Structure 1
């Protein structure tokens, strides 16, 4: 059916496409022009006249923003290539030296090279007793347009998972019980890995992050208000997880990591990263294996009716599980001269989960007398494979910054779960009241994504530029749910719970984005157009939902640089969230004998208008106030069906969100730094569902505190904690939660190796708890999991440890994969 309208639906196997594209990119690049360019170069020396090796160099614009980065070689030399005309300064930083900045200089169009006078780096002997101060990026780094979590620099993050790292991120709430992630109090955050949306359901995104080892992550970016060059998806913004990648300086380097942990059950992790560069060729790859045993428990009570008709069902659930996870990445970049570079990249993950779910339901009458016990044992297995491939070419046309980038991507996610359920029914005396029920559920799903995009940058003089681009993505989702009951003649399909669902979606988009600087003012505005054609087909129910719509998404940003230390900014953007593919699937998934989840094929997209004003001091202290109005809010709800609870997803009328965010780094001493942050938000629902008025209004807060210490004898330490106050989500009202974690790190063998020890949730305070007042039903729950874990991790670095990382590139599917069900 998708072949009738998709312009790329008839493409051959995506592996053939990648090979053909890679061949054509390399062939075309051979013939690319290799013109002259403006270079800025210089040398850094210390007070003794010796060159400073491997110093971090930054080319700064007049507004102190970074234009380019570089690293000095063994002779202290550095080079910035392809520099546009304008006025700049050069800054150098290096451990053991004070930061040094050059005098301003001008780059003109008629120049081929600019030589900066030598920079003199003075030694920085910051010591306190035997405490040696070392420089590294903080775990939480506040930039004007985003917040960056430098995961590889965090002692506490070592040996954990991506989900555990996000729990400590400012403004992020991870709800493990309901498997959702919010950013600054807002739902439907687009989660990406290496700039690629995962295209998973909200539940599968959480599972993916739960099974992604933190040792494989370089940074996590929190982008609350993206520009028009990004896809319009993501009501609350974007969470982009950047996995570790290679280097682009000469030579070979790498690292090996091994670690283990224990809470109530064991965990283990191991990983290897290797990078190599020779001439214009850069190769990189990494592999990580993660083994972890887990457990989770829930105590939930549902009360139906009132008075003499009151019935209570208490659910006691326990879920021990074992996960085995493999993640990998491999790629190559090649530079044809100084203007053209091409690259290919492959990354993926293989996850296997085995769980034994024990769900005991105790049924009580109005007098509190036990009437019946219904127990369901579920031997559950779940396998997921995710594979993505990217081919990329970037070409600079001249020395003014005019460049073109083209990406071609294919990605596939395959999920193979199976539930084997055995349900027994006994009365208060333990006597069987009905025969045992044996069922199984096989809901395999496959999501395939094909995408292509092109981005063009065209400078307009020294202080303005235009950016334009286009993108097309074609996504197919195949979910074939088979629910069967064992009878005397074998397993028989249950027609009420068996459903084959196909979903095809094509999105074509184009954008134009312009920016200009006027003295202390910077203005950026853009418009993005996206056309969506989707077709949902329930083969079993013979139900088809066909949608075709075009939307415009404007964005505007204004920045005022009052001085090098003070910056003001304001922004507006309009965004969309399309329903996740699994949310559209009308199949029924049994959670326990009294609870099931059902999809909604008639879900509509939700739209958000986002406004924000902010202030930044010295590039670190940040304060922002935002207002977001969302219509047709996609929200999970619980709908009582007698004594059974039906969970589904619907469109509610509207949600207003106001958020105040504050980040304030404090340098108490030379060896002690505190980075507190606060996100205070107000959520107000204006909706009605099932005859119930949902006008919930709640003032909530997310508070984080990260402290870092530089200790004697090469030790460093971290102490981090967070607190989430009570908050509201649709019908649910959640109680507060929080935790405190600690970690210590020791460098060995002239920093060639590192040992890290950390303990998460030191006080064992983490839990999920909440309640909901539904029509004729009251729900209360408390859930716990293995949040307190002690971990030991050892990392050894080999080869040249002073290499720069490879160029970061955004691929063509990075804004799609987050909807195999974003949050």
Structure 2
């Protein structure tokens, strides 16, 4: 491991040195307002003089100065814009080896001037953007993500790992909160997994990864927040796009969608619909050793699942700008998905010498359906030009799922003869989640350098799982009382927060936050007559401090306390079968876990970012296995371990190699240590692990663009499990045509078919190994056509509307 890390660092340093050794230019200038005073916060855009494509953006500082550095040779123009002022443009100028330092004349803003003919900016965001407070994955512009699902895109994101059960961890920590358009899903881990596996990437604009959220976000999520922002067109007039695609790995898949938008001075109406058909397979191999009364039994279990899914998702909404100060909005979204799965499971039971003793074969035909409907009403009031504003959101959503199993178990001896009557089971598994939420936020500026934010939120969640199992016995079906279970769970969270931020000087900025959350929950297993009531109030402070060191360096320091509550599925004592010898069961006595996180980050020239973090989690809940040697059954469940300590080091390195080749590299090194008393033994499981993501973009002649991406996850630990390394390489090619209104994308994921999960548990009386493989290598072709009016005009009202939507999304929780 040390050799690998050393070699990796040498490679990255060499790349960085190569990128910095080429001679790049520097551009400086200054802006004045109408009174000839320094103009701050003016947007400056550096564009190519030949085709007006965006090169880099900047904002003037408090002294009105701006700067662009590391600019390659070429001919450029700078466009300056600010709401309420005339757009300004410099004369064309050049960067060359003979003229690397360009000082432009001072520019002065003018009020109420006529609009000049604007520069049409044709820029493409990188797949991964590292910002000070978050990492942004630009799904909309990515070639390698075209035609994929949301889960497959997350697998490529820096610092994110997806295990064999589709559980998501961020920088080595599970407990990530998944949000859609800034709103928490409230779904269980399995339901979130199904949603992400069936959500098409062409419906996604961006994915935001927030590792240390402020107090205005929900306190849930010890490792952070993943916010999936769905597409919403922001252009004026009528416009939209059509998408169609097809793919194949070992099984076929295809998708299509339409996105429409109409916007004028008062209204913005938008909507989209996406459809996907996906066939896939998954295989799991499980090898166990059971030692009971000096007799060794070897279990060799093989499970293969093939599935077919039909997925429909939609989103519609309208924004109404009553006047300059009041904006109302309504949005509805949801999905309607269905699937069928065929499961074949074979279990060979052998003696200690490997001789076959018996065999159990399981067949299961599963039918599932899921549908969700969510509605949002929102309002924004802007009081004055200082930034004082009030926003409110009312949300209601309902999730309904239905599952049916048809399980057949057959028993054979060593020579293939049936030894007993087949065991036949069937199940009816309905699930309902009902969510109501209200929140309000208020922002009050305190002068020019300080701001006070405050807000309240209340959510009420009701879930109902009435699982019924029937057993075929003596030529008739009867209720299996050992597996049937009716479980209800209610949760009410009431929260309030306050944030204070202030620029202490030109160098230091401070933000202090405090959030209080009262949790009232009740888990009621009606069948088992088990009730768990909880009522607790907790406080979650946060501190953020930023420091500017010269023009090129910026430091940030942060602390926050967070909570994770068990999902209702993990609390539900219902039994989920893999086979007769392996099953999962919920734990109604799970406690919430609490995490204290510290983070220090350094940013160099707005691009190279280094982050150092530490977190301590108490009562961490994680999945474990418990083996009964007498019955030879292994049960998986969730339990609370005493503590987990996480140390992390993250590096983000965007490196422009040439004019036509740019690369973004992310390295995350983390050390996890789990300590607890579990199964009457002392657990001390730790591992140093590495996650590496690299993305390369190539601008080719004749409107071709190519991407190559790859990731590597080193061995890791999670509770009592030790996982092995995972890695993959992807490739994409894009062609633009029809005046760049149409694009055709070809991409191949996991080109070398290397992705698989492998892990082992050697703890207490358990000795087991697991291997999981899925259809990771897939080739896809995607066609997109944009139509309608797509020019972006500098209307003042429209800019305010954009701010309204963006702020509402950012502040939503």
- TM normalised by structure 2 equals 0.86
* 2:176 maps to 1:193: no
Secondary structure in 2 aligned to 1:527? strand
Cross-structure match for 1:73: none
Alpha-carbon spacing, 1:55–1:696, altered in 2? closer, same or farther (3 Å):
closer
* 2:788 maps to 1:787: no
Cross-structure match for 2:403: 417
- Structure 1 gaps of 5+ residues are 1-37, 67-75, 84-88, 107-112, 125-133, 816-823
Alpha-carbon spacing, 1:620–1:57, altered in 2? closer, same or farther (3 Å):
closer
* 2:146 maps to 1:148: no
Instruction: Give per-residue Cα distances to partners, 1:603-627, cap 9 Å, x unaligned.
Output: 1110000000000112221100000
* 2:86 maps to 1:80: no
Matches for 1:772-783 after TM superposition, within 5 Å: 772-783=761-772
Deviation at 1:97, TM superposition (A): 11
* 2:679 maps to 1:690: yes
- The answer to whether the 8 Å contact 1:721/1:741 transfers is yes
- The answer to whether the 8 Å contact 1:607/1:630 transfers is yes
Instruction: Give per-residue Cα distances to partners, 1:207-261, cap 9 Å, x unaligned.
Output: 21111111110000000000001010001000111111132x4311100000100
Secondary structure in 2 aligned to 1:305? strand
Matches for 1:254-403 after TM superposition, within 5 Å: 254-305=240-291, 308-403=294-389
* 2:749 maps to 1:760: yes
- The answer to whether the 8 Å contact 2:80/2:88 transfers is no
Distance of 2:47 and 2:341 partners within structure 1:
60
Distance of 2:314 and 2:425 partners within structure 1:
36
Secondary structure in 1 aligned to 2:212? coil
* 2:460 maps to 1:484: no
Deviation at 1:282, TM superposition (A): 0.4
- The answer to whether the 8 Å contact 2:513/2:543 transfers is yes
* 2:168 maps to 1:168: no
Deviation at 1:196, TM superposition (A): 1.8
Secondary structure in 2 aligned to 1:225? coil
Secondary structure in 2 aligned to 1:166? helix
Cross-structure match for 2:455: 469
Cross-structure match for 1:22: none
- Give the counterpart of 2:711 among 718, 722, 737: 722
* 2:588 maps to 1:588: no
Alpha-carbon spacing, 1:704–1:39, altered in 2? closer, same or farther (3 Å):
closer
Distance of 1:102 and 1:201 partners within structure 2:
58
Deviation at 1:262, TM superposition (A): 0.6
Secondary structure in 1 aligned to 2:641? strand
- The answer to whether the 8 Å contact 1:91/1:100 transfers is no
Secondary structure in 2 aligned to 1:474? strand
Deviation at 1:329, TM superposition (A): 0.5
- The answer to whether the 8 Å contact 1:640/1:775 transfers is no
Secondary structure in 2 aligned to 1:151? coil
- Give the counterpart of 2:494 among 502, 508, 518: 508
Distance of 2:64 and 2:606 partners within structure 1:
9
- Give the counterpart of 2:210 among 223, 234, 246: 223
- The answer to whether the 8 Å contact 1:159/1:260 transfers is yes
Distance of 1:685 and 1:447 partners within structure 2:
33
* 2:760 maps to 1:771: yes
- The answer to whether the 8 Å contact 2:236/2:263 transfers is yes
Cross-structure match for 1:808: 806
Structure 1 stretch displaced more, 93-102 or 537-546: 93-102
Alpha-carbon spacing, 1:47–1:602, altered in 2? closer, same or farther (3 Å):
closer
Instruction: Give per-residue Cα distances to partners, 1:421-480, cap 9 Å, x unaligned.
Output: 011001111110110111012221111110000000000000001000001111101111
- The answer to whether the 8 Å contact 1:45/1:119 transfers is no
Cross-structure match for 1:129: none
* 2:537 maps to 1:555: no
Deviation at 1:59, TM superposition (A): 5.8
Distance of 1:489 and 1:812 partners within structure 2:
59
- The answer to whether the 8 Å contact 1:407/1:812 transfers is no
Deviation at 1:306, TM superposition (A): 7.0
- Give the counterpart of 1:207 among 194, 209, 226: 194
Alpha-carbon spacing, 1:559–1:695, altered in 2? closer, same or farther (3 Å):
same
Distance of 1:270 and 1:100 partners within structure 2:
50
Secondary structure in 1 aligned to 2:195? helix
Cross-structure match for 2:16: none
Cross-structure match for 2:613: 626
Distance of 1:627 and 1:681 partners within structure 2:
9
Secondary structure in 2 aligned to 1:165? helix
Cross-structure match for 1:617: 604
Distance of 1:495 and 1:512 partners within structure 2:
50
Distance of 1:64 and 1:389 partners within structure 2:
44
Deviation at 1:657, TM superposition (A): 0.1
Alpha-carbon spacing, 1:653–1:445, altered in 2? closer, same or farther (3 Å):
same
Cross-structure match for 1:449: 435
Alpha-carbon spacing, 1:57–1:147, altered in 2? closer, same or farther (3 Å):
closer
Distance of 1:100 and 1:253 partners within structure 2:
41
Superposed CA RMSD in Å reads: 3.3
Deviation at 1:357, TM superposition (A): 0.5
- The answer to whether the 8 Å contact 1:465/1:514 transfers is yes
Deviation at 1:352, TM superposition (A): 0.9
Deviation at 1:168, TM superposition (A): 0.7
Cross-structure match for 1:244: 231
Alpha-carbon spacing, 1:318–1:618, altered in 2? closer, same or farther (3 Å):
same
- The answer to whether the 8 Å contact 1:193/1:814 transfers is no
Distance of 2:299 and 2:700 partners within structure 1:
54
Secondary structure in 2 aligned to 1:665? strand
Instruction: Give per-residue Cα distances to partners, 1:750-769, cap 9 Å, x unaligned.
Output: 10100000000001110110
Cross-structure match for 1:495: 481
Deviation at 1:120, TM superposition (A): 12
- The answer to whether the 8 Å contact 2:47/2:53 transfers is no
Deviation at 1:57, TM superposition (A): 8.2
- Structure 2 gaps of 5+ residues are 1-38, 67-78, 96-101, 793-797
Deviation at 1:366, TM superposition (A): 1.5
- The answer to whether the 8 Å contact 1:409/1:812 transfers is no
Instruction: Give per-residue Cα distances to partners, 1:541-584, cap 9 Å, x unaligned.
Output: 12111111000000000001123431100000000001111111
- The answer to whether the 8 Å contact 2:285/2:772 transfers is yes
- Give the counterpart of 1:527 among 502, 506, 514: 514
* 2:532 maps to 1:545: yes
Deviation at 1:692, TM superposition (A): 2.8
Structure 1 stretch displaced more, 418-427 or 303-312: 303-312
Matches for 1:13-24 after TM superposition, within 5 Å: none
- TM normalised by structure 1 equals 0.85
- The answer to whether the 8 Å contact 1:313/1:364 transfers is yes
